[in-house]
Chains A and B, each alone.
Chain A
């Protein structure tokens, strides 16, 4: 027997939403305890700040420019490498329960397996594998899907339609009649993507994901290893948690985020110091991608709306923590408590009011790029609790899972096993992470590359329709933890900038095979 792996992801969750990371709004005792028992990472970065590329990196251990799913709506090639395939080959039972999103969600022609399985009534289907064989879909022999709300043909939507049809109208309609991200406001403040949802908590997708995970775990045999990816759709917008729970965090008592200056002129001055697309989006002049409502203008957001969004986000984070607690209890009940590695993270962050913005986009700052990451190795290994301050990346997850399973790192993985201490990180040269953005949205092309070190966050905007290739951002993290002062053009940092530019150049020209970039097939 090896070590079992419970991989827990959320969607669009910031580092600072966990109590153990200093968060003040949500109570997260379950995750805090896991962190205390294992390794907590202070600087975990995604390879992309949107779902599909980032999740594809978790699965493949590759950067988006390698695996080819460069933006939401671009499917990950069906024969892309998958850590689940390797674990399946190693004898693991493999499951993904919750949000997958390696394939476009909007799928009128029914082209993608993720959208077909619920109606087919089968746990997986055969597809081409990276090594030329055929096998279970992306290496998972059990798949059960959910997304944000009751949408599409996924398992959660089917569950709600079949059993709780009357409760569906309580959810926020994520897209409007034009299939754009909905700008309609709700709640007490009229904030976009907010709604009071009358759905009972036990029918909400957070608890449904935990319930389905527990059920799958209960069916596993004692003599078989397993890898279970439990993937919560929250706290991604819409912010419509069960109304019965919203009293946990009264929004009127929520302080404004440290990076939300209440004075508009101060906010605008911060935006003006960054690359041009920040202010253009804030003013509603440009929508460069599908990730935010096209008909919503960030400049119109009020302080109370920021408070309410943060409050509801915090409620969703608490519900996730409690759901994880239930799953861990079920693992204890099976007698596996000491033999399971638990890894928790999110695919990317959320602006959540920072700089007067919401949602996400080509904005490579901590709000979107600093992620919670906790690795609680199996207690039977007697893990040494630690905090790793060195920069690490989600691209390391695939290699880490295989290492836990006692399997060699595959040649296709670009990330290496996560370090378990700063000393190990130093010895293994974990000194920088890279994040990519490429979007092409109705004639607007944006291409961004970022390198993060312990000291600096450096971004270059490559030539596109919004940037001429000369713009960038450079933040000194020690002096400017909120990334407010762009020192890209500061002569005093010219040599730093040159060094970081060289690091980015090295990333662009790193060795290894690249998949042909995929084709944008849908908005999301």
Chain B
């Protein structure tokens, strides 16, 4: 089992950042390489730019603590948990933390690598929205 974390300080209010990531169907707008998705209840299926379709189960969307958690349920993964936390640092100052825990280890690294670009995009969108 491998657990990895990337984080980004964002010059935007935490609710602005949270508004970007909280909706499951919005992921193609902020995760580079995810080109589309379908959402049916707590099941989300993402399609990557390489044509892979990956099923996920949404575990938590908690606006009070601004946490989004999901699991990849594709058979290749023995375990996966992805967590996005948006933490208030100041009125217009947030920390976005994207954690990936997975077995096999290699898959954790691959997903976590993608989250780096996602944080770039979340930052860009949030700071643009904050104005």
Residues of A within 8 A of B (CB): 73, 104, 106-111, 115, 153, 177-180, 290, 442, 519-523
Contacts and interface: CB of A to CB of B under 8 A. Distances in A.
11 contacts: A108-B110, A108-B111, A109-B114, A110-B49, A111-B117, A178-B104, A178-B105, A442-B105, A519-B6, A521-B113, A522-B109
A108 B114 contact: yes
Contacts of B6: 519
Contact of A109 (B48, B76, B105): B48
A104 B113 contact: yes
Given A178-B104, A180-B106, A442-B2, A110 B113 contact: no
A443 B87 CA distance: 25
B33 interface: yes
Nearest to B6: A519
Nearest to B46: A109
Given A442-B2, A519-B116, A521-B113, A108 B106 contact: no
Nearest to A519: B116
Nearest to B50: A110
Given A104-B113, A519-B116, A109 B34 contact: yes
B110 A178 contact: no
A125 to B, nearest CB: 14
Nearest to B105: A442
A376 B31 CA distance: 48
A153 B107 CA distance: 18
Contacts of B50: 107-110, 115, 153
Interface string B4-40: 0010000000000000000000000001111000000
Contacts of B113: 73, 104, 519-522
Given A108-B111, A109-B114, 6 more contacts: A108-B33, A108-B110, A109-B31, A111-B33, A180-B105, A522-B110
A180 B104 contact: yes
A106 B110 CA distance: 7
Interface residues of B, number: 22
Interface in B101-130: 104-107, 109-111, 113-114, 116-117
Contacts of B2: 442
A106 B52 CA distance: 13
A39 to B, nearest CB: 41
B104 to A, nearest CB: 4
Nearest to A111: B33
Given A109-B33, A111-B33, A523-B110, A179 B104 contact: yes
Contacts of B48: 108-110
A523 B33 contact: no
Interface string B40-58: 0000000011101000000
Interface string B65-105: 00000000000100000000000000000000000000011
Which interface residue of B76, B105, B116, B117 has the most chain A CB atoms within 10 A?
A: B105
Nearest to A110: B49
A177 B114 CA distance: 20
A523 B105 CA distance: 10
Contacts of A153: 50
A450 to B, nearest CB: 27
B106 A179 contact: yes
Given A111-B33, A521-B116, A73 B109 contact: yes
Contacts of A178: 104-107
Nearest to A294: B105
Contacts of B34: 109
A111 B110 contact: no
A290 B116 CA distance: 20
Given A442-B2, A522-B113, A108 B52 contact: yes
B95 to A, nearest CB: 17
A110 B104 contact: no
B117 to A, nearest CB: 7
A523 B116 contact: no
Contacts of A519: 6, 113, 116
A519 B115 CA distance: 11
Nearest to A153: B50
B104 A109 contact: no
A110 B49 CA distance: 5
A112 B66 CA distance: 32
A108 B117 CA distance: 13
A179 B109 CA distance: 11
A153 B51 CA distance: 11
A148 B90 CA distance: 50
Contacts of A110: 33, 48-50
Nearest to B54: A108
A523 B32 contact: no
Contacts of A108: 33, 48, 50, 52, 110-111, 114
Contacts of A179: 104, 106-107, 110
B102 to A, nearest CB: 11
A105 to B, nearest CB: 11
B107 A109 contact: no
Contacts of A521: 113-114, 116
Contacts of B33: 108-111
A428 to B, nearest CB: 41
Contacts of A109: 31-34, 48-50, 114, 117
